[in-house]
Structure 1
Amino acid sequence: MPRKPSVGSGDERLVGADRVLAVLVELAGLPTGASLDEMTQRTGHPKPTVHRALASLGRAGLAVQDGRGHYILGDEFLRLAFAHHEARPEHVRVRPVLERLSERFAETVHFAVLDGPDVVYRDKVDPAVGAVRLSSTIGGRNPAHCTGVGKALLSRRLLTLKDVEDWVGERELVRKTPRSPGNAAELHAQLAQTRERGFAVDDQENEPGINCLAVPVYLSSPSEPSGAISISAVAYRTPISVLVEAADEIRAIIEGALGRRERTA
């Protein structure tokens, strides 16, 4: 079955530049590239349309053909993406803290922001040593309600059960594991505990075998978090109890470098 892209207000109405962007988005999900026939099948668009879109991307340096004739993202796309990422002020400020925490705990550390019902990872530092590393990627997303970074940020916005219910709306809170909060009442209880503690935990709620502790960070405002930093650990190597016991140390490292968190419960 062809998988149509999500660019535009309706796939059946994609025209012109929208089609080019739809092909670009599809190609970005194929790190080893794809043939013209494969791209046609995946997008569900006519082959001439896909070919013209790839040609447009090629002229801009955003797509190239490798030695097998497969299309892959071009170096110009990667240059633009990484130049933009490196230019983010938050990235420059947060990176040393991520490196310090990763070195201290020998685990992966993330910086993420809230985007609607999801969190988006803006930076990541893997441990220098250790056989197991996480598969998360910069720019990747996860549901906010079952991640430490998401709950750290939601706890500052959703103060009452009504707030949580309004945020959830008609959506279903997906239980990614049996430990995930599955309704507004369960999430509200976790957010209340997060406010009381000053940090959030994800005890294998987003991915089995992975837990984390997250703290909001305040880069531009003393009361509105800019994002959150989490130490994401392999559970058998660093149990959640170890991270909770080190919460004061983690918070001190973050606040010492980036400023103190807002103290009002």
Structure 2
Amino acid sequence: MHPLAPVRPRQATPERPVGVDRVLLVLKELGRHPQAVSLDELARKVGLPKSSAHRALTALRRAGFAEQDGPGRYRLGLELVRLAFEYYEHYDERTLVLPALQALVERFAETAHFARLDGGEIVYVAKVEPPKRHALMSSRIGGRNPAHCTGLGKAMLAHVLADDDAVEAFVDEHGPLVRRTRRTLATAAELAPELERIRCRCYALDDEESEEGIVCIAFPLFLASPKLPSGAISVAALAHRTPRAALEAAAGEIVSLIERHLGPVTR
């Protein structure tokens, strides 16, 4: 072989993970067992021989990423927890999501938002508009809108309000919910089935429910927790220029663009 010829890295396969892949498999599986897990069960879960699982645990324990909790039982180490919290303290979600927003604007030539849920409202954290194609919207960075009538808000509420009782409690606490347009869903009876539809299809739609003439599609983002969204991303448009049906038809492409920049954070 020529000394400058590229060396092909050894490829790991789902059937036979190798080297660092084994360590990462074991690390991820440990994260699913906060009360610790035995070596036998761990090896079975990740599909490795006990000897391989044990070697991976040894490497993780050296780094402080795993620790032994009684004879033959293991869990995540406090060093990993410390690193995770240190990272999260300096975590800037706005900087993280901006490349995804910019990619969406470049692709669709419409406005992209990132917002967080705060009680009964959303707070806009980031907004990117297409050059020379602005649309007059009420959204502004740091501004707020009611969660129940925005795509961003409904995308998050669908996972925060898990059942009809939770929706009723939300409406009781934050109601009476304002009807921004004739299409706004402002009662628990209207909102609950809409949130169920969002959970089923994995995205929310705003069909001129917040502002006349403005439609959007929004996706919850699970950046920090696998259960509760950290925020949501949307593509918002003038209805006469990009109809709601066109946004909905592009749902799969939008998810692909988001996850190309952020990883598997949608659901």
TM over 0.5: yes
2:200 corresponds, among 170, 192, 196, to 196
2:122 corresponds to 1:119: yes
The share of aligned pairs that are identical, in percent, is: 51
The gaps in structure 1 that reach 5 residues or longer are 1-86
The gaps in structure 2 that reach 5 residues or longer are 1-89
Corresponding residue for residue 219 of structure 2: 215
Report the aligned-residue RMSD: 1.5
Output the amino acid matched with 1:106: A
**Range moving further from structure 2, 169-178 or 138-147:** 169-178
After TM superposition, the score normalised by the length of structure 1 is: 0.64
Corresponding residue for residue 257 of structure 2: 253
Shift in Å, 1:221: 2.2
The 5 A counterparts of 1:37-186 are 89-130=92-133, 132-169=135-172, 171-186=175-190
SS of aligned partner of 2:123: strand
Q: Distance in 2 between matches of 1:136 and 1:169?
A: 26
Shift in Å, 1:259: 2.5
Shift in Å, 1:184: 0.3
Output the amino acid matched with 1:250: I
Q: Distance in 2 between matches of 1:208 and 1:261?
A: 30
Contact kept? 1:215, 1:229, Cα under 8 Å: yes
SS of aligned partner of 2:200: helix
Shift in Å, 1:135: 4.2
Q: Distance in 2 between matches of 1:155 and 1:229?
A: 14
SS of aligned partner of 2:116: strand
Q: Distance in 2 between matches of 1:154 and 1:89?
A: 23
Q: Distance in 2 between matches of 1:238 and 1:123?
A: 21
Q: Distance in 1 between matches of 2:91 and 2:225?
A: 17
Q: Distance in 2 between matches of 1:204 and 1:88?
A: 34
Matched residue pairs, number?
177
Output the amino acid matched with 1:102: V
After TM superposition, the score normalised by the length of structure 2 is: 0.64
Q: Write out the 4+ residue segments of structure 1 that deviate beyond 6 Å after TM superposition.
A: none
